[in-house]
Amino acid sequence: MSEATSNTPHQLLGLYDSPFVRRVAITMTLYGVPFEHLSLSVFRQMDAMRPINPLFKVPMLTLPDGEKLYESAYLLDYLDELAADRGLAPLTPRSGPQRRQVLQATALAIVATEKSVAIEYERKRPPELQWPEWSSRLRGQLRQAFSMLEQRLAGIARSGGSFLVGDRLTQADISTAVGIGFVRYVQPDEWPAGEYPALEALAARLEASAAFQAVPIDQ
C-alpha cells in the first residue's frame, strides 16, 4: 500500500452519534492515526455537506492524497492495512480462521446496529406512515443478533475469556460495543436491560477505555 506522504491528515466526515462513523474513529484512535473530524450531520447540515459529500452518506474518509473512501467496512479494511504496514496487529486479522470469526461476529454486530438505525428512521416518519409490524420485525432481528453475540461471549466468559474472538480486542468487540452504545443512547427503551449480561460487561469495559472515551457518542 502506498503510505501517506502528504502532511494533510486523514479527514473523517460524520457525527459520532452514527455508530458507523464512531467505530471508524475509535479504530483510528487505537491505531494512532491522526485525523481531522468533520462533524457534519447528513440531515441537518446538508448545505455544508453537499460540496464535500453529495452522497449524504457517512462515514466518508478522505485520505491525505485526497482520495475519498465510503462504507465503514471498507474504511476499516483500509485502516487495517495501514496498521499492518506500520507493524501493528490489525483489529481484523488479515487471514485464517480468526479472520472469519471476527468478520462473522462483526457482521452480527452490524445487523443489530442496522436494525436499530432502521427502527430510528421508522420512528422519524409521520405517525400515520409508521408501520408497527415492520418495527416489530426490526426489533426481533436486532434482539436475535444481540442474543447470538451474547451466547458466544457468555460461552467464552465461562472458559475465562473476555473478548468475542481469541484473547485480544478485535473489531468484533469494537463494533458490538459501539452498536450497544448507539441503541442505549438513541433508543434506551429498545435495550432490554439485564438480558445480555456478557455484552453489557464488554460494553462497559470498552466504553471506559481511552479510545472509546476519546470518541464520545454525543460530541
Residues that bind ligand GSH (CB under 6 A): 18, 20, 42, 56-59, 71-73, 117
Residue (182 or 191) nearer to ligand GSH, CB: 182
Check: CB of residue 67 under 8 Å from CB of residue 1: no
**CA–CA dist 164, 154 (Å, integer):** 9
**CA–CA dist 166, 161 (Å, integer):** 8
Shortest Cβ 121–ligand GSH spacing (Å): 8
Q: Is the dihedral of CA 47, 51, 55, 60 positive or negative?
A: negative
Shortest Cβ 117–ligand GSH spacing (Å): 5
Shortest Cβ 16–ligand GSH spacing (Å): 10
Q: Which residues contact 95 (CB under 8 A, 6 or more apart)?
A: none
Residue (35 or 56) nearer to ligand GSH, CB: 56
Parallel, antiparallel or unpaired: strands 35-38 and 68-70: unpaired
DSSP-assigned letter for residue 3: P
Check: CB of residue 212 under 8 Å from CB of residue 177: yes
Closest by Cα among 48, 18, 8 to 121: 18
Shortest Cβ 141–ligand GSH spacing (Å): 16
Which grid coordinates belong to 65? 492524497
Residue (54 or 96) nearer to ligand GSH, CB: 54
Residue (142 or 198) nearer to ligand GSH, CB: 142
Shortest Cβ 15–ligand GSH spacing (Å): 8
Check: CB of residue 40 under 8 Å from CB of residue 52: yes
Residue (19 or 93) nearer to ligand GSH, CB: 19
Strands of the chain (E only): list them: 10-13, 35-38, 60-62, 68-70
Shortest Cβ 216–ligand GSH spacing (Å): 16
